[in-house]
């Protein structure tokens, strides 16, 4: 075979292969048009942002838990006070009933005594 033909065949085969290898090396680390460095920087930015958001959310949860504990203690105090007031209301209603019965009895007694004395 002619050496010129052999060189032409080798060039025809190696040309696209070399072009592919050069392009592959040049484009390695790229996704579409972004460099891997840009993607890693964006990823770090997202991680930093979500880290800050997570810390803020944790602080808010801790504050809300502390506030809830205070509100539960206050609610327990108010529940006890409410129970005491209900017991007092029941006792006062019983006293009112007793006093009404006493007044009715006294009115009856006074009316009976007036009749005995001949009064109106």
49 plus 14 within the same structural domain: no
22 plus 78 within the same structural domain: no
10 plus 39 within the same structural domain: no
67 plus 94 within the same structural domain: yes
21 plus 42 within the same structural domain: no
Q: What is the per-residue pLDDT across 15-63, written as a single tens digit (0 to 9) for each?
A: 777 777 776 666 655 555 567 788 888 899 999 999 999 999 999 999 9
37 plus 10 within the same structural domain: no
24 plus 80 within the same structural domain: no
* Residue 18, pLDDT score: 73
With CA atoms as reference, report the closest residue to 64 among 72, 74, 52: 72
Q: Is residue 120 within 8 Å of 114, Cβ to Cβ?
A: yes
Q: Is residue 5 within 8 Å of 11, Cβ to Cβ?
A: no
For residue 27, give its domain range.
Answer: 1-31
* Residue 93, pLDDT score: 97
45 plus 80 within the same structural domain: yes
Lowest mean pLDDT among 22-26, 65-69, 92-96, 98-102: 22-26
Structural domain count of the chain: 2
């Amino acid at each position: 075979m002619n050496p010129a033909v052999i060189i032409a065949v080798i060039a025809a085969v190696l040309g696209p292969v070399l072009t592919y290898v050069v392009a592959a090396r040049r484009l390695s680390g790229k996704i579409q048009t972004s460099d891997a460095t840009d993607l890693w920087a964006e990823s770090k930015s997202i991680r930093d942002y979500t880290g800050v958001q997570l810390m803020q959310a944790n602080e808010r949860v801790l504050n809300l838990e502390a506030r809830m504990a205070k509100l539960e203690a206050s609610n327990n105090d108010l529940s006890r006070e409410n129970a005491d007031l209900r017991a007092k209301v029941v006792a006062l209603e019983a006293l009112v009933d007793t006093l009404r019965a006493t007044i009715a009895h006294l009115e009856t007694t006074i009316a009976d005594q007036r009749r005995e004395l001949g009064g109106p």
